Amino acid sequence: MKKKVLIRILPGLILAVLFAYLAACDSRTGITDPPPPPPPPTPNPYGEGNGKITFFRTQQIDGPITIKISDKTLNDSIVWTVTPNCDTNIAASVILKKGNYTAQIEGSIFLCRYDINVEERKCKLIDYTTCNGGYVGCYNIDGLWLRTADGPCPNCMGLKVFFENGIGEVVYTPPGCRFPIGDIKWKDFNINNCTMLDRARDQYGGSPAYQKATLNFSHKNAFIINSESGQIPYSRIGTSYDKKSIKKNINTGNTPAKRDSSPLRSGN
């Protein structure tokens, strides 16, 4: 009789013990195996604290291309037909510590800047083909400049200004233009904020006064002067000028209209 009773209750006891064991394993006080340790982090392919920047273009740009960022100078001669892999080893690329940098890219006349945040472990692509997403910034203005539009001053398209040693001197003036040869047209150029003082005169060539002007470059050899008188475009046409030719210009009659000191509206 006892044996039959034991047989009847034995399955129930087994189930009860199994349930208690499972409950203990799922409880906070149950005994379980500790979780496995997390896998070690993947090593940074660029070195601890570093990130990578890769520069590329998809169109030809005149002249050798140089890229300056931090204390590095890169040369880029490849024109890509497709966007390259960021980690390709044939593109112009640089590994830098994480942080903020400014890259300056130059061709024979091409000029573009990018403000770049380098992030640890990340590689970033910079497509500088048309300076998309970048900005031209400022550049030195040494050399011979040609005024390519009258702007606020009739007859002044074709005016030439030679800039050196911080001074921009008129070296050629078209007939009827109000700025005489030898006039100090530009001074106090500041490359950091791209400003200078630009001399303005009234319609008779009198009332000379300097106006603060901002220069907006489209590339190395072209900018627009923005001042209270208006906008005036110039293009760089040379890097030197023979000062002896100034006298020749004067002798051939390329002088401004008669100057007068009447206080009229100034123009650049």
Strand spans (E) along 119-191: 123-127, 143-147, 160-164, 167-172, 184-190
- Cα distance between residue 89 and residue 69, in whole Å: 18
User: Which residue's entry shows tokens 């070195």?
Assistant: 47
Shared domain check, 154 and 106: no
Percent share of the chain, pLDDT over 90 = 70
Q: What pLDDT score was predicted for residue 256?
A: 39
Q: What are phi and psi of 212, to 5 degrees?
A: -70, 130
> For residues 91 and 54, what is the distance between their CA atoms, to the nearest angstrom?
7
Q: Where are the alpha helices (DSSP H) in the chain?
A: 2-26, 244-251
Phi-psi region of 239 (alpha: psi -120 to 50; beta: other; left: phi over 0): alpha
Residue at 5 is within a domain:
no
Whether 50 and 43 have beta carbons less than 8 Å apart is answered as no
CA–CA distance, 249 with 70 (Å, rounded to integer):
46
Angstrom CA distances, 244 to 13, 241, 247, stand at 118, 9, 6
68 within domain boundaries? yes
CA pair distance 67, 76, nearest whole angstrom: 8
Ramachandran region of residue 138, left (φ > 0), alpha (ψ -120 to 50) or beta? Answer: beta
Q: Determine the Cα–Cα distance for residues 97 and 119; give it in Å rounded to an integer.
A: 8
Domain count within the chain: 2
CA distances from 162 to 168, 173, 184 (A): 5, 12, 10
Q: Residue 112 sits in which domain range?
A: 50-127
Of residues 183 and 261, more confidence is placed in: 183
Task: Please name which of 138, 158, 133, 140 lies closest in space to residue 148, comparing C-alpha atoms.
Answer: 158
Which of 127, 152, 184 is the last residue in one of the domains? 127
Asked whether residue 252 carries a pLDDT value surpassing 90, the answer given is no
What average pLDDT does the segment 10-31 reach? Answer: 56
Q: What is the pLDDT of residues 38-63, one digit of tens each?
A: 888 899 999 999 999 999 999 999 99
Confidence class for position 251, pLDDT limits 50, 70, 90: very low
Q: What's the pLDDT at 16? A: 61
From 119, 121, 137, 112, select the one nearest 55 (Cα to Cα): 112
Is 7 inside a domain boundary?
A: no
Residues 147 and 247 in one domain: yes
pLDDT-derived band of residue 183, with 50, 70 and 90 as boundaries? Answer: very high
What's the rounded mean pLDDT across residues 197-210?
Answer: 88
Tell how strand 184-190 and strand 167-172 pair up.
antiparallel
**By percentage, how much of the chain surpasses pLDDT 70?**
78
Domain-located, residue 120: yes
Average pLDDT over residues 66-78: 97
Q: pLDDT per residue over 122-164, tens digit each?
A: 999 999 999 999 999 999 999 999 999 999 999 999 999 999 9
Overall pTM surpassing 0.75 (yes/no)? no
Shared domain for 230 and 154, answered yes or no, is: yes
